[in-house]
Structure 1
């Protein structure tokens, strides 16, 4: 399984396209306007398997949080390479979206070219204002320091710990990581208009999924939870049909942030729920597969450090490379043990999704 994973975006893309071609998929490549960290061209690539008029479609997405694409891409390449793509139930199709945020994948960032967390950007900007997060303004100043050092990092960790003690874990998590639309230079910034990835995924959904009556979306993520454990975070409303179906298909792994069952805060504007909105009135069961890596303190600090680096530092300096190693470890432990835990589970979840879709 380990050969399915890649050391960089360009290698991941080559492996995905090769595996998709070998599996007989129809392929489309959508160019991104900017270049990658090594000057390479960037693309969101698509692979379609099965009948184009299928009423039931499984959609998998990698690289929504760019650097998390190492995991998602490996799972997609493995699915194609290990023969699973040849076992689709009758009348069912599969759409693999590789690198929905190719800029972040290449540059080793969770965010995109606009410093946007695209998983906070999939809101309907045309009908409502972005959700407010006034508590973020309280913490922004010390989350975006002027310089970076071990001493600065330790000071930020102390401030975060004190803030958690002051307002409680749930309120502090919502303030810091829940998403904000007021500070473009800040962390977990969701933007004020649809970003490139938002527009691109919307066009993909409207082109490839318009005929589907039943859709399952699985968005591959890392960085939250116990090492190697795959939590299925489902943001459908409590007591809704999609949440009920998710529990029927996937069992106890499904958690609902709205019901307080996940460490993830309630987040508006995530990609998979955007696809559900784009594909109304189909029945859409959307979930993240969220694989744990390091501690929440380490993961959060890596995001803060990377934000400082791209605002005020030099990516190619020794400090810049240290920060890049730090954020990579936080979202992609280059560990056979970790891959041995999460890759087989991703295969199992996709099989469960296909069985659920086929059952109607």
Structure 2
């Protein structure tokens, strides 16, 4: 279960893939008894899309580790690699009867295949787990900025005007208020960034079906590791908790992973407080019987990242017919490059941290 420099470098070459299809093939080779939850939509090469799930251990085990990749589709390159690392380390072969493991590969397989953060409905899955029977959260700041975040025109002059308007908003309201307006989730502008939708997405329903099929809600304690990329220092794996679990959820996670765990409740996270996260679903389903962390591996800072998402949303909102044209492929490649830095250095950092997180979670569940 230990990892030296040579092993980390070799693992980085093995576990990462350059496409969703390649990642899926590697996962199915490592976990051939996986169950496929299929979608009707196809990938850019006409490939079948599915969330693949594999389970190890006693079906009645009271302790369960769940490892999720591609909640935000394009971030699945990292998450899939982390899941393969877990299998490569052989943790699943050392389970006592009290503990089991559920690996959910490519939860948002549409976004993974098309190099988008969102689902096929254009919804940010990590804003979609709200209770839709109640009034939806409001974000007036986003509504004010929507035309600049996703303008109808992505010419250089249009982007210059958009960034000038955003800078003026930041100067007037402060950086933190802008971050909340921009990424705090919004439910009124379909096609916009960080859109949470008006009903559960197909991908959310798939996760709910998986939870039902594997009787997750009956477990004594469930630990969830939900891999992400895009926020924070380049290559650093921040262990984020979410607003929904509050300070209690943070303390449960810190008890397992140590003081590097962060929380927006405490103001220590690189993320803002957001509604409708996956952890909101776990909190509703399991309460204090769950511990959630979202490892967040930094890539590149804004405004570069903001412009990548701006063009992605513009493409699929205003020119969906061009998604597989030269322009569409150029925009998709840029999105992929932002959320998946294809460099040996970044990959090795991901491998080191992911192995550490996987090991800490496994050891705590087995020995706790």
Q: 1:223 aligns with which of 208, 230, 243?
A: 230
Q: Spell out, residue by residue over 1:273-310, the C-alpha distance to the aligned partner (whole angstroms, 9 max, x if none).
A: 313322x2561001100000001321122111100011
Match of 1:98 in 2: 105
| Residue 355 of structure 2 is aligned to residue 344 of structure 1 | no
Match of 1:188 in 2: 194
State which drifts further: 337-346 or 230-239.
230-239
Q: 1:328 aligns with which of 332, 336, 339?
A: 336
Instruction: Give the SS at the match of 2:232.
Output: strand
Q: Spell out, residue by residue over 1:22-55, the C-alpha distance to the aligned partner (whole angstroms, 9 max, x if none).
A: xxxx421111121111111110110111111110
Instruction: Give the SS at the match of 1:296.
Output: coil
Q: Give the unaligned 5+ runs of structure 2.
A: 1-10
Q: Give the unaligned 5+ runs of structure 1.
A: none
Match of 1:134 in 2: 140
Instruction: Give the SS at the match of 2:218.
Output: coil
| Residue 25 of structure 2 is aligned to residue 14 of structure 1 | yes
Deviation >4 Å, runs of 4+: none
Match of 1:163 in 2: 169
* CA displacement at 1:89 relative to structure 2: 4.6
Superposition TM-score, scaled by structure 2 size: 0.92
| Residue 10 of structure 2 is aligned to residue 5 of structure 1 | no
Match of 1:276 in 2: 283
Aligned length: 353
Match of 2:117 in 1: 110
RMSD: 1.6
Match of 1:285 in 2: 291
Alignment check: 8 A CA contact 1:212 1:282 kept: no
Match of 2:5 in 1: none
Q: 2:92 aligns with which of 80, 85, 89?
A: 85
Q: 1:356 aligns with which of 341, 361, 364?
A: 364
Q: 1:40 aligns with which of 19, 28, 47?
A: 47
Instruction: Give the SS at the match of 1:16.
Output: helix
* CA displacement at 1:251 relative to structure 2: 1.0
Instruction: Give the SS at the match of 2:102.
Output: strand
Q: For residues 45 and 316 of structure 1, what CA distance do their matches in structure 2 show?
A: 25
Superposition TM-score, scaled by structure 1 size: 0.94
State which drifts further: 229-238 or 297-306.
229-238
Q: Spell out, residue by residue over 1:227-281, the C-alpha distance to the aligned partner (whole angstroms, 9 max, x if none).
A: 10000111154441x3212111111221110121112110111113313322x25
Alignment check: 8 A CA contact 2:148 2:163 kept: no
Q: For residues 177 and 28 of structure 2, what CA distance do their matches in structure 1 show?
A: 43
Alignment check: 8 A CA contact 1:66 1:103 kept: yes
Q: For residues 344 and 92 of structure 2, what CA distance do their matches in structure 1 show?
A: 24
Instruction: Give the SS at the match of 2:227.
Output: strand
* CA displacement at 1:84 relative to structure 2: 3.1
Q: 1:122 aligns with which of 129, 142, 162?
A: 129
Q: For residues 212 and 108 of structure 1, what CA distance do their matches in structure 2 show?
A: 34
Instruction: Give the SS at the match of 2:297.
Output: strand
Q: For residues 207 and 43 of structure 2, what CA distance do their matches in structure 1 show?
A: 20
Match of 2:157 in 1: 151
Change (3 A) 1:352 1:90: farther
| Residue 254 of structure 2 is aligned to residue 243 of structure 1 | no
State which drifts further: 245-254 or 317-326.
317-326
Match of 1:262 in 2: 269
Q: Spell out, residue by residue over 1:48-86, the C-alpha distance to the aligned partner (whole angstroms, 9 max, x if none).
A: 111111101110110110000111011112221342322
Instruction: Give the SS at the match of 2:268.
Output: coil
